[in-house]
Structure 1
Amino acid sequence: MALLLAKRARANTPDEKVLKIFSQEGASVADMVRYFERVGYTVEVLQHTYYEITVYRESLNARNG
């Protein structure tokens, strides 16, 4: 279910915008990372007491780098 919600959120977010996803389930995070990388997004994951996933197109990173 988490992956489906993440896909919908990304579909409703313009490519020039960064999507932040917060999750407490490591297995869901792994699924989301695998999916977003496979479809061409750059993904960064930070682990706190929860996971913080940042999803963006690489060109955005190059512009802000």
Structure 2
Amino acid sequence: MQVKVNGDAHEVARPCTVAQLLDRLGLPDSGVAVARDGIVVPKSGWDAPVGDGDGFEVLTAVQGG
């Protein structure tokens, strides 16, 4: 199935949860915020299945000052 992550298209195998998507793409699973189609997905919802055509934004926390 096709999904977009941070604007880039990716082909991922089914079944796939949000947590598995992050893992398969080598993205961290801590210190990040995930939104699916513009709606924030709390970490407690990362076991939800990913659907064909879903769009994700993954933002990582950075320290600075």
Same fold by TM-score, threshold 0.5 exceeded? no
Which interval holds the TM-score relative to the shorter structure?
0.3 to 0.5
Higher fraction of helix: 1
Higher fraction of strand: 2
Q: Pick 1 or 2: higher relative contact order, CA cutoff 8 A, min separation 6.
A: 2
TM-score w.r.t. the length of structure 1 is: 0.33
TM-score w.r.t. the length of structure 2 is: 0.33
